[in-house]
Amino acid sequence: MSETEALRDRAAGLDKADELGALRERFVLDEVVYLDGNSLGALPASVPGRVADVVGREWGRLRIRSWTESGWWTAPERIGDRIAPLVGAAAGQIVVGDSTSVNVFKAVVGAVRLSGGPQAGRDEILVDASTFPTDGYIAESAARMTGCTLRPLAPADMPGAAGPRTAAALVNHVDYRTGRLHDLPGITAAVRDAGGLAVWDLCHSAGALPVGLDAHGVDLAVGCTYKYLNGGPGSPAYLYVAERHQGAFDSPLPGWNSHAEPFGMRAGYAPVDGARRGRVGTPDILSMLALEEALTVWDGVSVEAVRAKSLALTDFFLECVAAHVPAGLVASVTPAVHAERGSQVALRCDRADEVMDELITRGVVGDFRAPDVLRFGFTPLYVGFAEVERAARVLGEVVRG
Amino acid sequence: MSETEALRDRAAGLDKADELGALRERFVLDEVVYLDGNSLGALPASVPGRVADVVGREWGRLRIRSWTESGWWTAPERIGDRIAPLVGAAAGQIVVGDSTSVNVFKAVVGAVRLSGGPQAGRDEILVDASTFPTDGYIAESAARMTGCTLRPLAPADMPGAAGPRTAAALVNHVDYRTGRLHDLPGITAAVRDAGGLAVWDLCHSAGALPVGLDAHGVDLAVGCTYKYLNGGPGSPAYLYVAERHQGAFDSPLPGWNSHAEPFGMRAGYAPVDGARRGRVGTPDILSMLALEEALTVWDGVSVEAVRAKSLALTDFFLECVAAHVPAGLVASVTPAVHAERGSQVALRCDRADEVMDELITRGVVGDFRAPDVLRFGFTPLYVGFAEVERAARVLGEVVRG
């Protein structure tokens, strides 16, 4: 038996034993090996019917009545409660709406204010130096508008750096490029012990691994819903404000949806209690209700089982890459240690942009991240082991040229 | 012939002569008299098919490839250019995305910075005292975060109040409650002459009457797209930044979508030129492309013809109300003068909330605005004169009790 045959046999056995394997039927998929669910999750099969109903009946027939009769008005907090168990949060702390960038702004400004801010001598915002760029840009704006200074650091250095000047720390749970999983419990505790607040960006972890927001005492968090949560292109992001902070949470975007009496049309602003305080303007209902339907694929699924499969998928991919790709042509920048790995594998490679184009042409879809990274995301709900073997094999063919 | 019969005859004649009458076929409508298009526009008939294609094919089959192949990435500015002629703007000045509230924040902070702000002695933001509440709440936050003070005023008093301390003025083109149309050219000029910048909220005017953003030298403007533009529930709002201000426009929400090289993933922020500088995070594609399709109902339609019909509809409604409703039971708070009237009629009435509930039960849908206003919006693209007569007649029956 050749090495390739042996790997294929192993893949078949792993697929057969996969307790999550049947979930693939909940998605619209085809012969393409789709390893880009960490950029845009695949379409859940029940979403088209639900969206057609929202458009045709709720908007088309009920029109304005749907704000109450179809539950549109309460969608942001209702869907937040649906996301909550996936990130280890009790109900009432997450609200859905706006983009991740806008939520980073709310969360970082909110964190600075909760910390006391410059008036209390807290005038530094620590930010993950390798962050997804938008987080850094928005944190810089938040710093400028609150009288703080931005201090970029490796997340591992944050516990040592946090001190009396720390207002907030903005950190990605999983690095978008390398796939490194950062130490959420440790960094959160260190920032809290220093008197600041930690804001976590969960874009690359929610839906792929247990987050444990409540268990680890996270202060604030944001995340998108179009990656491992499969909400659709540009589906609304979410904001988590821990219950203990909600009463003092002071949003920089106090839109009418966060008013205690939104239809009172009062000239003075009075914020509502609870997670709704993170709402701003009228929610984009089509995108939001598509997301709500997409979340039904999680019915009966445990995040722990997803994590176990995720690690098995990335382990197997690394093994197949070692077998199929000649030594030296690619190098993994994703940590080998499970405790430091998200649900993706990033491989450094010459001409990575051209290699990815060719992979896509041959039916293996990942993405390229400048300057030299091939990024492969593994969504445990719909990626199988035979696909993983095939992806590595095609990669070997492509890089051999 | 009774007065009622005479009004019905008049309505039939007006409908027959209505050059926009055939546009009703472009919408999904029924026997309900829908006078709430100023809250949520009716469903354009071609939208369900387009949304099904976006979900099923673009997301479901092409997945991540659609960001380029289906034109998702460029949708915000492409759709902005589609809105532009409806508000009298040349291409390249409008970008679609986020909620109205979030765009008010971008626009007001941007205006303060363009004016020089407190460092230049400009530390006041004038705001329409009867504004839709969210504008006031967000302007207050913008003032707080830029070191300014908010000064609420009747729009008519703004020209006299604008002076060397004026950084910005935020005004609604049409008042959401009374339907009063404010003097956009005059206020814009007065604020500009004082060295400040005017920010217009077009939620209740865009799609109902000519706005003339370029012709009147407006600096910045925002608006929603779910009222007279029929984009669907919570469809994304838009931001207009006049071309002359774009180079210096300094957004408080500098998300990665507004970077000169968004996929360069650079640590430092460098804003792109043009309208795209108003973008923030990943756009909500389902809502955005539904809006794009909804805008096709404007093909071949002139805003001037829409305005003419709008005034004819509101004139006729006021006439029918005078005929059908016993004197003294309702009082219009909408200006009688055409130059001061938007596309709605607001009637003050006892027990207005109960009256509106009963109207809705009897198939006439408007809305109630606290504390005592019945609000009826007239969308010239799909409301006819016979419907107007019927609405007034049913109102008369309801208030008679």
Residue A182 in marked binding region: no
Q: Which of B273, B298, B323 is the last residue of a domain?
A: B298
Is residue B43 in a domain?
Answer: no
Sheet holding B238-241, edge to edge: B94-96, B238-241, B220-223, B197-201, B166-172, B124-128, B149-153
On the question of pLDDT at B1 being above 80, the answer is: no
**According to the model, what pLDDT value does residue A318 have?**
97
CATH number at residue B149: 3.40.640.10
pLDDT at B104: 98
Give the pLDDT confidence score for residue B266 in this predicted structure. 85
Structural domain boundaries enclosing B154 = 51-298
Give the per-residue pLDDT at A133. Answer: 86
pLDDT surpassing 90 at residue A160: yes
Q: Rounded CA gap, A294 and A46, in Å?
A: 7
Check pLDDT > 80 for residue B80: yes
Same domain, A271 and A308: no
Counting runs of H as helices and runs of E as strands, what totals does chain B give?
Answer: 13, 13
B228 closest CA partner among B71, B51, B87: B87
Q: Are both A192 and A275 inside the same structural domain?
A: yes
A168 pLDDT band, cuts 50/70/90, is: very high
The verdict on a CB contact (< 8 Å) between A284 and B282 is no
- Do A323 and A246 lie in a common domain? no
pLDDT-derived band at A162 (thresholds 50, 70, 90) equals very high
Q: What is the pLDDT of residues A293-321, one digit of tens each?
A: 999 999 999 999 999 999 999 999 999 99
Residues B290 and B356 in one domain: no
CA distances from residue A395 to A312, A322, A325, A374 in whole angstroms, order as listed? 19, 11, 7, 10
Same domain (yes/no): A253, A331: no
Q: What is the mean pLDDT of residues A172-179?
A: 95
Q: Among B28, B63, B137, select the one facing A256 at the smallest CB separation.
A: B137
Contact status of B313 with chain A (Cβ, < 8 Å):
no
- Indicate the residue of B51, B136, B138 with minimum beta-carbon distance to A253: B138
**Catalytic residue selected from B27, B132, B240, B382:** B132
pLDDT on residue A265: 81
- pLDDT 10s digits, A352-378: 999 999 999 999 999 999 889 999 999
Q: B310: domain CATH number?
A: 3.90.1150.10
Q: Of B298, B318, B335, which marks where a domain is finished?
A: B298
Residue B201 annotated among the catalytic residues of the structure? yes
Q: Quick one: pLDDT at residue B132?
A: 83
In percent, how much of chain B has pLDDT > 90?
95
- Is A132 known as a binding-site position? yes
| Mean pLDDT computed over B255-266 | 90
| pLDDT, tens only, A112-153 | 999 999 999 999 999 998 888 889 999 999 999 999 999 999
Tens-digit pLDDT profile for residues B275-291 = 999 999 999 999 999 99
Q: What is the dihedral of CA A248, A251, A257, A258, to 10 degrees?
A: 10
The Cα of A218 is separated from the nearest Cα of chain B by a number of Å equal to 24
ipTM exceeds 0.90: yes
Residues A104 and A248 occupy one common structural domain: yes
* Dist. CA A213–CA B44, nearest whole Å: 43
* A291 within 8 A of A96, measured Cβ to Cβ: yes
Sign of CA dihedral B251, B253, B279, A374: positive
pLDDT at B267: 84
A/B interface, count of CB pairs below 8 Å: 254
Closest CA to B261 of B271, B253, B252, B251: B271
Does residue B20 sit in the same domain as residue B111? no
- Please indicate, yes or no, whether residues A78 and A118 belong to a single structural domain of this protein: yes
Q: Is residue A43 part of a domain?
A: no
Confidence of residue A1 (pLDDT cuts 50, 70, 90): confident
Structure-token pair, residue B70: 């289906």
Q: Which residues of A touch B145 (CB under 8 A)?
A: 145-146, 252
The pLDDT value given to residue A209: 98
Q: Is A174 on the interface with B (CB under 8 A)?
A: no
Q: Which residue of B has its CA nearest to A282?
A: B234
According to the model, what pLDDT value does residue A267 have? 84
Q: Are residues B148 and B24 in the same domain?
A: no
End residue of a domain, out of B263, B282, B298: B298
B39 part of a folded domain:
no
Confidence at residue B334, expressed as pLDDT on a 0 to 100 scale: 95
CB contact under 8 A, A282 and B234: yes
Q: How far is A42 from chain B (nearest CA, A)?
A: 7
How much of chain B, in percent, has pLDDT values that exceed 70?
100
| B226 domain residue, yes or no | yes
- Cβ–Cβ gap A59/B233 under 8 Å: yes
Kindly state whether residue B36 falls inside one of the protein's structural domains: no
pLDDT above 90 covers what percent of chain A?
95
> What is residue A147's DSSP assignment?
T
The token duo for A98 is: 């706006």
- What's residue B367's pLDDT? 93
Distance CA B238, CA B216 (A): 19
Average of per-residue pLDDT values in chain B: 97
Name the percent of chain A lying above pLDDT 70.
100
Condensed to tens digits (0 to 9), the pLDDT of residues B165-196 reads 999 999 999 999 999 999 999 999 999 999 99
Whether B282 and A177 lie within 8 Å, measured CB to CB:
no
Both B248 and B348 in one domain: the answer is no
Q: Tens digit of pLDDT for each residue in B186-240?
A: 999 999 999 999 999 999 999 999 999 999 999 999 999 999 999 999 999 999 9
pLDDT at B273 over 90: yes
Give a yes or no: residue A44 inside a domain: no
What digits encode the pLDDT tens for the residues A179-213?
A: 999 999 999 999 999 999 999 999 999 999 999 99
Strand order in the sheet with B367-369: B330-332, B344-349, B373-377, B367-369
Looking at the structure, do residues B282 and B352 belong to the same domain, yes or no? no
A35 lies in some domain:
no
Q: How far is CA A214 from the centre of its chain?
A: 17
Q: Show residues of chain A in contact with B146, CB under 8 Å.
A: 145
pLDDT at position B225 is 98
**Alpha carbon distance B33, B114 (integer Å):** 45
Mean per-residue pLDDT for A323-343? 96
Band of pLDDT at residue B130, cut at 50, 70 and 90: confident
A39, part of any domain: no
Does one domain contain both A175 and A232?
yes
Number of domains, chain B? 2
Does position B401 have pLDDT exceeding 90, yes or no? no
Average pLDDT value for chain A: 97
Name residues 341-370 of chain B within 8 A of A (Cβ): 360, 365, 367, 369-370
